[in-house]
Chain A
């Protein structure tokens, strides 16, 4: 089945990103297609590669990047929500005159339409948030 996932909270403060990760991993292992993981609200903070948790803690951002790489996931960060919260890719940083970008590997920044489009294309859309 074709499943879309919406992640509405950032890493660590809420369990939402962990739950979404475990759900996505289980779905992939069962042979389902994860059409897209869309990061919205504070969920965009899952996409900063500047995250550096203590060594004995999980690295939520890297974990998404690795899963994304393994399964070629489409992990989309909402541009409007990202701009509010300072998540930028190289193009956006240049456009805004910022000294550097911080987006982690495997994530891409795009519009909110990608969420609606996932709702249209997927058999199911599951939201993880607070």
Chain B
């Protein structure tokens, strides 16, 4: 493991994109996905998150989980900035299909059309999807 760490210190910076396509609470993917994103901050990589399809629901304002007995992890998205994770890309079409706009989201994002998002995905080194 030591030589691997040396390489990392040597400054290998890759473009990581975490692709979120699942709604929160119904399954654990959004929550455990967020845990990976937070850990990735420690590795000083070029990290972004894409929210596509039901993944956009992860960012909906007004989540209140008291009555279902799960932890509301939505405030964590607002904390990402503190981890220097500021590239949050949201798929315009997925918002439109769900009757949502940027104003319905709990954090500042960059809304992208299909062509922009497709180009952004294509230039990544590592894509991890949840």
> Are A and B close enough to touch in the complex, i.e. CB under 8 Å?
yes
A contact residues vs B (CB 8 Å cutoff): 6, 8, 40-41, 80-81, 111-113, 115-117, 119-121, 125, 127, 129
Contact B12 A120, beta carbon cutoff 8 Å: yes
CA A80 to CA B39, docked complex, whole Å: 12
Choose among A41, A80, A111, A116 the residue that contacts B45 (Cβ–Cβ < 8 A): A116
Contact A113 B43, beta carbon cutoff 8 Å: yes
CB contacts (< 8 Å) of B7 on chain A: these are 120-121
For window 73-96 of chain B, which residues contact chain A by CB distance below 8 Å? none
Contact A119 B14, beta carbon cutoff 8 Å: yes
CA A41 to CA B16, docked complex, whole Å: 19
Choose among A40, A115, A121, A127 the residue that contacts B4 (Cβ–Cβ < 8 A): A121
CB contacts (< 8 Å) of A125 on chain B: these are 126-128
Contact A115 B36, beta carbon cutoff 8 Å: yes
Contact B128 A127, beta carbon cutoff 8 Å: yes
Is chain A's interface secondary structure helix, strand, loop, or mixed overall? helix
B13 to chain A: closest CB distance in Å?
9
Apart from A113-B42, A119-B128, list 19 A-B contacts with CB within 8 A. Answer: A6-B128, A40-B36, A41-B29, A41-B32, A80-B35, A112-B36, A115-B36, A115-B128, A116-B39, A117-B43, A119-B126, A120-B7, A120-B12, A120-B14, A120-B45, A125-B126, A125-B128, A127-B128, A129-B129
Contact A120 B8, beta carbon cutoff 8 Å: yes
CB contacts (< 8 Å) of A41 on chain B: these are 28-29, 32
CA A120 to CA B128, docked complex, whole Å: 12
Contact A116 B29, beta carbon cutoff 8 Å: no
Report the nearest B residue to A6, measured CB to CB. Answer: B128
Given A81-B32, A127-B129, A112 and B39 contact (CB-CB distance below 8 Å): yes
For window 1-40 of chain B, which residues contact chain A by CB distance below 8 Å? 4, 7-8, 12, 14, 16, 28-29, 32, 35-36, 39-40
B54 to chain A: closest CB distance in Å?
14
CB contacts (< 8 Å) of B29 on chain A: these are 8, 41
Contact A120 B43, beta carbon cutoff 8 Å: yes
CA A97 to CA B10, docked complex, whole Å: 41
CB contacts (< 8 Å) of A111 on chain B: these are 39
Contact A116 B36, beta carbon cutoff 8 Å: yes
CA A9 to CA B129, docked complex, whole Å: 13
